[in-house]
Amino acid sequence: RRQRQMCIRDRVNTAVLTSDTLEDPLRADAYVTIPLDEPDISLHKSVDRDTIPVGDTVTYTIEAAVAEEAGEVLNVTIGDASLPDAMHIDMASIRAWLGDHEITPVPADIQNNTFSIDFGDLRPKESIRITYRATAQDDELAGTQVTNIATLASESLDEPLTSEAVVNIVGEDLSLIHI
C-alpha cells in the first residue's frame, strides 16, 4: 500500500568482506524501519447558523490547511457523507477553492446526498475551502440536532481527519430542540 510507504521508510546497511583467501566476498545486510511523522494538516467544519426552523437553509464551510513546515500531503480527498436525506444538500451550490483560486467546475463525486472532491497533492502552506448549502426539508427533523461530519483522507495519513458542525432544528413554532 502506498499509504504505508509514506509513513514508514526502510533502510538497508550492507557490509561486505573481501579477502585474497576468500573465493567469494562475504555479505551481510541489516534492515531498519524508520517511522515518519504524518504531515501537519488541519480540517475545520463550520456552519453559518446553529439553529434553524424546518424549511430553512444553512451554509456549511469546510477548510483544510497544510502547515508551513509540513511535507507534501498526497492524494487529498475531502468528503461529506453524514447528512440525513431530510437535510438535503444543494449540489449545485458546492464551491471549492485552492488558496484564493476558485476551482470551476468543481470536480465533485456526487452520490445521493453525499459528495467528495479529490484535490490531488497539497504542498506546505496550501489551503482548501469548500462551501455548500443544505436545507432542513422534512418535519421529522423538528426537535433534533443534525451533526454534519467532514472527512479528509490522504495517502499521507494513517487515519482520515474529521470535523463536525451541529445544527439545531426547530419546528415551525420555533420551539427549542429536545435533548
State the amino acid at position 94 in one-letter form. Answer: I
The answer to whether the CB of 127 falls within 8 A of the CB of 61 is no
Residue found under cell 436545507: 135
Mean pLDDT of 89-102: 96
Confidence label for 3 from pLDDT (cuts 50, 70 and 90): very low
Residue 14: per-residue pLDDT: 83
pLDDT, one tens digit per residue, over 36-47 is: 556 789 999 999
pLDDT, one tens digit per residue, over 6-26 is: 444 567 788 888 888 888 888
Residue 30: per-residue pLDDT: 80
Grid cell digits, residue 67:
502547515
The answer to whether the CB of 9 falls within 8 A of the CB of 33 is yes
Residue found under cell 566476498: 25
Average pLDDT of the chain is 87
Percent of the chain with pLDDT over 90: 69
Confidence label for 69 from pLDDT (cuts 50, 70 and 90): confident
Q: How far is CA 82 from the centre of its chain?
A: 13
Confidence label for 1 from pLDDT (cuts 50, 70 and 90): very low
pLDDT, one tens digit per residue, over 107-159 is: 999 999 999 999 999 999 999 999 999 999 999 999 999 999 999 999 999 89
| Cα-trace Rg, the chain | 24
